[in-house]
Structure 1
Amino acid sequence: MSPDSSSSSGRRLDTPIGRRKLRISIDPDLIGNYSERAARFLGTGRYLLIQTVIVVVWIILNLAWVAIRWDPYPFILLNLAFSTQAAYAAPLILLAQNRQENRDRIALEEDRSRAEQTKADTEFLARELASVRLAVGDTVSRDYLRKELDDLRDDLRKLLERTDEALDEKSR
């Protein structure tokens, strides 16, 4: 077997094996959707009510029932729970805000594009309307034509009357 030939596995024998990395595929949209849901929930009155009830029950149980005190007076465990919650809630809320900013930016760009298109369409229609007005200004209107025909009829009547008068004078 020659040094350039491949083994049956398709790997070249003269090429070292690279490190194999554990690749975790995380969908950013999926994480973003979950973060937005969490941020929306953390900003509701329902969440605040639930959290308040849990804190009040926690404090009452730790102050009133001596037998089951798992977190004595300074409530260090409760404080740790709030710190942990804040450590996760703040980045989730920021991520949700960033995603909303991106959506707002895209919507603004689309609105600007639509506004530019609307402006261009309006300017085009204004030019077309002006050209139609110019074209209509050069055409004969019904009233103008009626006036001209009436004037022509009057002129013909006068001409006929003069002709009749001239013929009457000749015949006399």
Structure 2
Amino acid sequence: MAAEDRSKVAPVGASGIARPPRSRLDQPKAPRRRLLPEYDPETFGRFSERIARFLGTWRFISWMTLVIIVWVLWNIFAPTAWRYDQYPFIFLTLMLSLQASYAAPLILLAQNRQADRDRVTYEQDRKQNERSIADTEYLTREIAALRMGLGEVATRDWIRSELEDLVKDIDDRRPLLPAESDEDR
């Protein structure tokens, strides 16, 4: 047999029974097929939020009311052979219970997701407020330092008052000075 033909034949053990080919230890095994299907929690969460959003609308309430009214009227006034749910409307009760048993957890899931989003938003708002407070405190300190610095700087009003005092002193001393002649001017 050629080398190519030997590779196709399963190896035979000492007992003469064919063994499956050995898998290599340096390579990962192929993943097994899961028994349960995988689901994406984010996709399922978005789906539950859409349902919960729809369950909270007047449109849903209107359609549900219409279906129940048609159901009851059909099962009261339709010919007996065509009625599928007699007077105590047990099947209607079962359907409403089934709808409620699915709606409640979906609504709770949507509320939990909204609470998580609110928590993240609250945390971001809190950090932004802390930054704003720190900035405000910094600006307050800077303004206080500028005011203290301006206290040492001559202001326009202070210079004006000093000049007025000097002019007044000069005017008070003028009679004491010798009279100027018109020629000196």
Give me the TM-score of the superposition, normalised by structure 2. Answer: 0.75
- State the Cα RMSD in Å: 3.0
Aligned to 1:59: 72
Q: Aligned in 2, Cα 1:73/1:100: closer, same or farther, shift over 3 Å?
A: same
Q: How many residues align?
A: 160
Does structure 1 residue 43 correspond to structure 2 residue 25? no
Q: Aligned in 2, Cα 1:23/1:72: closer, same or farther, shift over 3 Å?
A: closer
Could you say which structure has the higher helix fraction?
A: 1
Does structure 1 residue 139 correspond to structure 2 residue 153? yes
Q: Of residues 64, 68, 72 in structure 1, which corresponds to 2:86?
A: 72
Structure 2: tracts of 5 or more residues without a match: 1-20, 181-185
Distance 1:152 1:16 in 2: 101
Kindly provide the amino acid, as one letter, of the partner of residue 54 in structure 1.
V
Distance 1:59 1:147 in 2: 97
Percent sequence identity is 45
Q: Secondary structure at the match of 1:164?
A: coil
Aligned-pair CA distance for 1:30: 1.2
Give me the TM-score of the superposition, normalised by structure 1. Answer: 0.80
Aligned-pair CA distance for 1:134: 0.4
Q: Secondary structure at the match of 1:41?
A: helix
Distance 1:52 1:69 in 2: 19
Q: Aligned in 2, Cα 1:162/1:125: closer, same or farther, shift over 3 Å?
A: same
Aligned to 2:132: 118
Distance 1:75 1:28 in 2: 37
Does structure 1 residue 162 correspond to structure 2 residue 170? no
Moved over 6 A (4+): 15-18
